[in-house]
Amino acid sequence: MQDLNRRRFFAGLLAGTALAGAAGINARANRTQAVIVGGGPAGAAAALALREAHPANPVLLVERDPRRLGPVEQASFDRPSAGPDLSTLRRAGVEVVLDDVMGLDWRAARLNLFSGRRLAFDSLLLAPGTAALAEPIPGLDAVARHLWPAAWGNAREARRLRAQLAALPEDGHVVLRLPAELSHPDAALGRAVQIATLLDRTRPDSRFTVLEAGMSSDLSQRFRRRLDAKGVRTRSEWRTGQTGGNVLRVDARNGMLETDGGLLRADVVNFVGLQGAGTIARAAGLSDASGWCPVDARGRSLIRPEAVILGDARKDAKRHVADAVLSGRRVAAFT
């Protein structure tokens, strides 16, 4: 039954992609009213709100991850689902394009898609969420990021992390690395509690270390309180930037992390990198030195007022689902 649903879903997506391909061609002739990049909570909410507010205007939503809009159950280390699924969006008249936006041509008002197609827009709304920024940590290369998945909004990495934890030796050591500036502090705390709870249940002889590069976080106390409340007894240590939590160098192939508190060896590392606005927003020149997109109260970019930024990518976003949805819904009032 689940397989059938899955098949139907992907068949639906293919049909949608073909439809949207046609819409893209029309768009070149007539110009699409609104194009939204990103089908997470912010982008999906904006698409529905725009259709409701202006039923005569076409809305096109581009999402690269088919799971995001599908009937897929959430598993551990996944971020929350987008909310409205593909059929809800379709019923509301939103055209969904399953593709990856690779670039943006401001002069021609066009998006360049991974498939090679181009999509013209009249108004552009970007809701690409977050993505890891480069960090000057020696050894933190593409191989290290593969071996030590962040699983921070990436379903494939979440699967890899689950598999690595399932294969952990009985007395293994798990490290969760958190960057100095946390994009989603509550999700970071949730991740630490989730791992500690899993280890308590499945590997009572294992050890867990959190390396938080931040200097003054209260997360470690909240972590302790949560574990106590749940009766979780995993051997765990939370280091901050003041107590050796800063990672200076890594050797992922040998499971080694050099910190300012000494050398650590780990069997599984969940290495959460420093986050900024989704890559396409940064590539399009919409972020400032912080890596986030500065916007006005309505979400309009302070760098390029012709673009609206929604959800987590905004510089002052609260970065939880309710705030992302609110930013999407609000957009209909002024677009």
Ligand X SMILES: Cc1cc2nc3c(=O)[nH]c(=O)nc-3n(C[C@H](O)[C@H](O)[C@H](O)COP(=O)(O)OP(=O)(O)OC[C@H]3O[C@@H](n4cnc5c(N)ncnc54)[C@H](O)[C@@H]3O)c2cc1C
* Residue among 173 and 184 whose Cβ is closer to ligand X: 184
Report the nearest approach of ligand X to the CB of residue 35 (Å): 11
Report the nearest approach of ligand X to the CB of residue 104 (Å): 9
H or E segment at 206? none
Structure-block tokens of residue 21: 């391909």
Q: What beta strand segments (E) does 156-239 contain? A: 173-178, 207-212, 235-239
Residue 37 is given by DSSP the state: E
- Cα 110 from Cα 124, distance rounded (Å): 9
Report the nearest approach of ligand X to the CB of residue 5 (Å): 20
* Residue among 116 and 262 whose Cβ is closer to ligand X: 116
User: What residue ranges bind ligand X (CB under 6 A)?
Assistant: 37-43, 62-65, 68, 79-80, 100-101, 127-129, 152-153, 184, 187, 278, 280, 311-312, 319-321, 324
Report the nearest approach of ligand X to the CB of residue 83 (Å): 9
* Residue among 61 and 252 whose Cβ is closer to ligand X: 61
Report the nearest approach of ligand X to the CB of residue 17 (Å): 13
18 contacts 300 by C-beta, under 8 angstroms: no
For residue 91, the one-letter residue type is R
* Residue among 78 and 200 whose Cβ is closer to ligand X: 78
Beta-carbon contacts of residue 190 (< 8 Å; ≥ 6 apart): none
Residue 286 is given by DSSP the state: -
* Residue among 235 and 315 whose Cβ is closer to ligand X: 315
* Residue among 129 and 276 whose Cβ is closer to ligand X: 129
Report the nearest approach of ligand X to the CB of residue 80 (Å): 5
Q: Give one DSSP letter per residue of 50-105, joined into a string.
A: HHHH-TTS-EEEEES-GGGGSSPPP-TTPPPP-SS-HHHHHHTTEEEEE--EEEEE
Report the candidate in 310, 313, 315, 312 with the shortest Cα–Cα distance to residue 327: 310
For residue 81, the one-letter residue type is S
308 contacts 301 by C-beta, under 8 angstroms: yes
* Residue among 186 and 205 whose Cβ is closer to ligand X: 186
- Cα 79 from Cα 127, distance rounded (Å): 15
Report the nearest approach of ligand X to the CB of residue 303 (Å): 18
* Residue among 149 and 245 whose Cβ is closer to ligand X: 149
Report the nearest approach of ligand X to the CB of residue 200 (Å): 20
Measure the CA dihedral 213/132/305/21, to 10°. Answer: -160
